[in-house]
Amino acid sequence: MGDMNEIFDLGRKTLGEVERRLDMSRRDYLQFCATLAVTMGLPSGAEAAVAKAIESAPRPSVIWLHFQECTGCTESLLRAEHPTLEKLILDVISLDYHETLMAAAGHQAEAARKDAMKAHKGKYVLVVEGAIPVKDNGIYCKVGGHTAIDLLKECAADAAAVIAIGSCASWGGMPSTGPNPTGASSVAEVLGKPVVTIPGCPPNPYNFLATVVHFLTFGKLPDVDKLGRPKFAYSRLIHENCERRAHFDAGRFAMEFGDAGHRQGYCLYKLGCKGPETYNNCSTLGFGDAGENNWPVGCGHPCIGCSEKGVGFIKPIHQVAKMLNVAPPLQYARIVEEQGKAASFASAAALAALAGAAAGAAVMLTRNLGLSHAAQQAQDAKAEGQAQDKARV
């Protein structure tokens, strides 16, 4: 993939110049490159290629469109620290059009967009934030007198890559919830072709930054799943790497907000956590450089599945999640034991007892997973009533 010494090749800018340009120490710069490489799942040595690209590759022109959204994706990007926003848009990419951040307005803003599209035809990156209303020919969202539909199609026609940032642009998000009076739709639906999607409400800014740097480094976008999501960020369920997973496996759940289990950091599954059916890296990549606990579950609130179509803004927040892949705890007996000396009668009996206990525990866990605290109390009361009836007989 590369050697870090290659960064000092003749004809390239020195790290000292990069240090002054990005206002980062050499150590921080190389650490930043390594972090991006790891985030994207690249092999050892890839940080050299990332460093070279940021150091010497032409800055890609980026046109950023806003439609039906709350600007939360942009606000999330504003809070990135490695690098900070001004370093990102002035030194890593060339943000040529962004209605929230640009100084120009009105005709000047529209002229800037058209000039960037003409100057970088076939090479610019189009980023879309927000859903696109399609009902009544798209009259519910207009910019500069043009509908969101027309603007999207015009800008996407000559783009080298199209990135839908946030759940609204990725699959419709909150604006598309029933009854969806404006016909809010995703970027892919309007364009009629797959695009790279970075869902979340808002998404982690480093998922977007890593995607852009991958394009800058390798001249192509990262591998994506069937929904267009970069695999480096959306290939695992939140539940798999959740900091509260051990409590789930042990059957320790918070039953109410503020109860003893909630205060002790127990699993939030029974409070409606959607981590078991939501693909994202929230549990492994902190938001806003404020610590790894700076995400809903880390703050004590269930994941609402904001990045998952059909879950976020669709299912009630406190409805229990559908378990997509319940893995057994490590203390369960393995299916196939390692080969070794023949087991004694006593050890075989002990293993059978352990397997029986594990099976019984699994049955109870399966029975109880979907029960809310109130349902569990009702079941206990019913059992108690039946026991009293038998006692009277």
In a domain, 42, yes or no: yes
- What is the structure's pLDDT at 353? 52
Residue bearing the bigger pLDDT, 321 or 2:
321
What does the mean pLDDT of the chain come to?
Answer: 80
Q: Is residue 273 part of a domain?
A: yes
Cα–Cα distance for residue pair 179/209, rounded to 1 Å: 34
Answer yes or no: is pLDDT of 34 > 80.
no
Q: In the predicted model, what is the mean pLDDT of residues 360-384?
A: 55
User: Does residue 337 lie in a domain region?
Assistant: no
- The token pair at 293 is 């606990």
C-beta neighbour count of 185 within 10 angstroms: 24
- 220 and 245 assigned to the same domain: no
Most confident of 30-44, 76-90, 156-170, 213-227: 156-170
Please give the model's pTM, rounded to 2 decimal places.
0.71
- Among 184, 203, 234, give the residue marking a domain's end: 234
206 plus 90 within the same structural domain: yes
Has residue 64 got a pLDDT over 90?
yes
Q: Are 83 and 140 found together in one domain?
A: yes
Q: Do residues 48 and 151 both lie within one domain?
A: no
- Conformational region of residue 346, where left means phi above 0, alpha means psi within -120 to 50, and beta covers everything else: alpha
Q: Identify whether residues 163 and 178 lie together within a single domain.
A: yes
Higher pLDDT residue, 299 or 393? 299
Q: What is the mean pLDDT of residues 27-55?
A: 67
**DSSP class of 90:** I
Q: What is the CATH number of the domain that holds 261?
A: 4.10.480.10
Asked whether residue 334 is domain-assigned, the answer is no
Structural domain ending residue among the three candidates 10, 39, 57: 57
72 contact partners, CB below 8 Å, separation of at least 6: 166, 201, 202
pLDDT at 225 over 90: yes
Q: Are residues 101 and 50 in the same domain?
A: no
Structural domains of the chain, count: 4
Do 182 and 317 lie in one domain? The reply is: no
Do 76 and 220 sit in the same domain of this protein? yes
Alpha-carbon dihedral angle through residues 340, 346, 349, 354, given to the nearest 10 degrees = -80
Assign 44 a pLDDT band (cuts: 50, 70, 90).
Answer: low
Report residue 1 as tokens: 């993939």
CA distance 95 to 339: 60
Residue ranges making up the domain that contains 42: 1-57
Structure tokens at 143: 């910019």
Q: Are residues 51 and 111 in the same domain?
A: no
Q: Same structural domain for residues 259 and 163?
A: no
How far, in Å, CA of 311 to CA of 166, rounded? 15
39 assigned to some structural domain: yes
Residues 6+ apart with CB under 8 A from 217: 49, 50, 52, 53, 57
- Please indicate, yes or no, whether residues 62 and 183 belong to a single structural domain of this protein: yes
- pLDDT confidence of residue 10: 30
* CATH assignment at residue 92: 3.40.50.700
Record the tokens describing residue 75, joined without a space.
Answer: 């606000």
Better-scored residue on pLDDT, 54 or 320: 320
| Rounded distance between C-alpha atoms, residue 205 and residue 198, angstroms | 10
Whether residues 171 and 316 fall in one domain? no
Q: Which one has a higher pLDDT value, 116 or 370?
A: 116
**141 within a domain of the structure (yes/no):** yes
